[in-house]
Chain A
Amino acid sequence: MVTAALAGCADRPGLASRADSRRDVVEEDVVRLDDAGQPILARPERLSVQRNGRLIISDISDKDVKVYGTDGRRAATYGRPGRGPGEFAAMLTAQAYGDSVVAYDFESSRLTVFSPDGHYARAVSLGHLPFLPWSVRVVDDSLFLAAAAAPGSIGRPLLALLRPDGTRISTFFDPAKLIGRSPEVIQQTFVLADGAHGVVFVGLAGADSVWAYDYHGKLLGSGPLDPVQPLPTTRALIEHNRGRMRRPDGSYVVDGQRTLFSVVALDSGSVAMQVCERDAMRGTDLLEGGTLLVAAIQLNRGLTMVARAALDGGLLGSERGGAPLVLRYASAEQDRYAITRLRLTTHSRTARR
C-alpha cells in the first residue's frame, strides 16, 4: 500500500530538480504479536531485531524486555522490576545487541547486558559521563550512543558515543544557544538521537530542526524537521506567552502542538522521524500515530526531506537491514499489537498524484 510521498513539496524548486531523491513509503505487515497468555506489552518504547531474527521490545511500564520469535509469539521476558542485577527501577530503553540484549536503567545509570539465552551477563556503569544519560542506543555491535536529559546539561555536549565497555569515543551536540536559558523552555525540551552507518542523527523535542554528525562529532548537515508544515518551537511558544508555560486559562502552550517524538537512524545517511500532536493534559501515545518524516544527507544540501507520510502506529525502531519498523495497535481495545515494516521505494509520479 502506497501511503504518501512528500505531499505538498512538488513546487519546491530544490526538490523538483532532484526527483531521484524522493521516496514513496510502502507499508508491509510483518507480524502480529501473541503474548501466549503472559502479560501483554504495556508501554513499548523501542523495537529492534536480533541477528537471529527475534524481535526485542522494551517495556518501560513493566520494566522488562519482551522477546518475540519471528512468528510473533512471545519467546521470553528478560529482566524485572527491582534494583538487583538484571533488574530495573527505571528502565528507559532496551535494544538488540547482536544476539544479546542491552537495557538501560536511568536510576542506576547502568547498562545491563543479557546473554543470548536471556541470562544476566554483565553491567556497565555510565556514571562517569559528563551528563546523566537518559537514553542509550545501540549504534552497532561495537558502539553505543548515550543522550543526556537535555535540561540539566545545557552548556555541555548532550551526546556521547561509547565503546561497549562504556569508555568515551566522542562527545558533541550542545544546543544551548538554540534553547536559551529559560527553565520553562529547558524543562520541556529534550534530546532524541540515534546512530547508524557512520552518522548520528539528533533532534530536539520542542525544536524544529534535525542535525547529522559523524562519529567524531563533526556536523555533516542540518535541516528543518518538517519543511512542509514547520514545527513550532517550545521556546517561541513560551516566549510568546510572556515566558510562561501555562496560559491565563490554565491550558498549556505546548498542548496540541506538533512535536518530535521519535528518531530512528536508517542506512545510507538517512533518518526516519515521527511527529505527533502533543496532548499535555492526557499524555501522548506514540502508537496512536502521527506523521512520518524521512530525511537524507545530500551533498552540499544538508539534510533534505525525502518522504513524508501519515503514520498509523509508533516508529519504534528499524530492521537490521535498515527498514523502519512501526508498532501499532491491532484491536480497537488496544490490547493487541502488530508490527509493520516501512519500505522506502523510488518515487512514483502516479503515487504522488
Chain B
Amino acid sequence: MKRACRIGGAGTALGLILVVAALGGALDARGAAPHPRMIAARAKSTASAQVESASVTISGTLTPAARRAIRRAHGQGYPLVIVLRATDRRKCEDLGRQLREMLRVAGDRARAVLVTEDSAAEGYRAFARREHLKATIVSFPLDSLMRDRPRLPTPAVLVDVDADGRVEGIAHPDRFANVRSRSFAVEMHSLLSGDATNTPADRGRDPH
C-alpha cells in the first residue's frame, strides 16, 4: 500500500501538445524504438490532397557496385528493390502495410531486396520479420546506389526493368501521419504487374 502513496496529487499539466509531440515524433527523433503499442499512435492526419501530389517518380540506373550487391543477394531475374533509410521505419507508420500490399500485388514476381544503410540493416531485418515482408536485406551505401543521384528520396520502391540496371519506381519522401491513401501498390500497379514498358502510372514531381 505504500506504493500507492507515491501517486496522486497534482502534477504539471503538460497538455495535449506534448501528447502529440511524444507520439508523433519525439520518440523518433530520439531514435529509440518505441514500445510496440506506440508505433501506430501518431499525430493528426494530413489533407489527402497533399498525399496525392507527394509521390516522387524515380527513373535511372543503378551503379555497377549496387547491381553486383543486389545480384549477389538476389540471384537471377529482375528484383523489386526496396530502398529504406534508417529513419524511414520510424517516421512512416504505414510502411509495413504498404510494402506487404505491394508484394502481394507483385505476386510470384516479387523477389524483393531491401537495400539499406549498413547501420540500419539489423533493424530492418527485425522489421521485415515482424511485418512479414519476404525480402533479402542488403547493406549498401544509399548515396552510391544510383548513378547521378546521390540523394535518392526514400522510402522508395524500384523495379529493375532491364539487364543494364535501369530502374523505375516511386518514392514517398514526405511523411504522412498514420495512413497513406495512395500506396506503392496502387501507384506502381503497371510495373508490378509485369508490364515493365510502362512508366509508373501517376508521375509526380521529381526534385532532381
Contacts and interface: CB of A to CB of B under 8 A. Distances in A.
Contacts of A62: 97, 100
Contact of B7 (A45, A91, A132, A173): A173
Given A135-B37, A280-B33, A284-B33, A152 B132 contact: no
B123 interface: yes
12 contacts: A43-B39, A90-B41, A107-B44, A149-B19, A174-B11, A176-B10, A219-B4, A261-B35, A281-B33, A283-B130, A285-B126, A302-B4
A224 B21 CA distance: 30
B207 interface: no
Contacts of B93: 90
B45 A134 contact: no
Interface string A250-278: 00101100010100000000000000001
Interface in A197-219: 205, 209, 211, 219
Nearest to B94: A81
A119 interface: no
B18 interface: yes
Given A61-B131, A255-B32, A281-B123, A151 B12 contact: no
Contacts of A318: none
A: contact size bracket: 35 or more
Interface in B59-112: 93-94, 96-97, 100, 104
A192 to B, nearest CB: 8
A152 B16 contact: yes
A209 B36 contact: no
Given A92-B37, A151-B19, A205-B35, A42 B14 contact: no
A91 to B, nearest CB: 7
The secondary-structure label for the interface of chain A is: loop
B37 A42 contact: no
A106 B7 contact: no
A154 B122 CA distance: 35
Contact of A132 (B3, B16, B26, B96): B16
10 pairs of A and B residues whose beta carbons are closest in the complex: A176-B11, A152-B19, A155-B11, A282-B126, A152-B18, A151-B22, A283-B33, A155-B13, A90-B178, A89-B178
B: contact size bracket: 35 or more
Given A60-B39, A149-B23, A39 B104 contact: yes
Q: Which of A90, A91, A149 has the most CB of B within 10 A?
A: A90
Interface in A306-350: 334-335
Interface of A: 39-40, 42-43, 45, 60-63, 81-83, 88-92, 106-107, 131-132, 134-135, 148-149, 151-156, 173-179, 181, 183, 186-188, 190, 192, 205, 209, 211, 219, 221-224, 245-246, 252, 254-255, 259, 261, 278-286, 302, 334-335
B178 to A, nearest CB: 4
A300 to B, nearest CB: 9
Interface in B156-197: 177-179, 181
A173 B44 CA distance: 26
A187 B1 contact: no
Contact of B11 (A45, A154, A205, A254): A154
B33 A151 contact: no
A186 B3 contact: no
A326 B187 CA distance: 38
B23 A222 contact: no
A181 B44 contact: no
B132 to A, nearest CB: 6
B7 A178 contact: yes
Contacts of B38: 190
Contacts of B26: 183, 187
A282 B1 CA distance: 37
A204 B3 CA distance: 13
Contacts of B42: 90, 106-107
Contacts of A155: 10-14
Q: Which of A107, A245, A259 has the most CB of B within 10 A?
A: A107
Contact of A223 (B3, B13, B126): B3
Contacts of A223: 3
Contact of A221 (B1, B17, B19, B179): B1
A181 B36 contact: no
A285 B131 contact: no
B13 A154 contact: yes
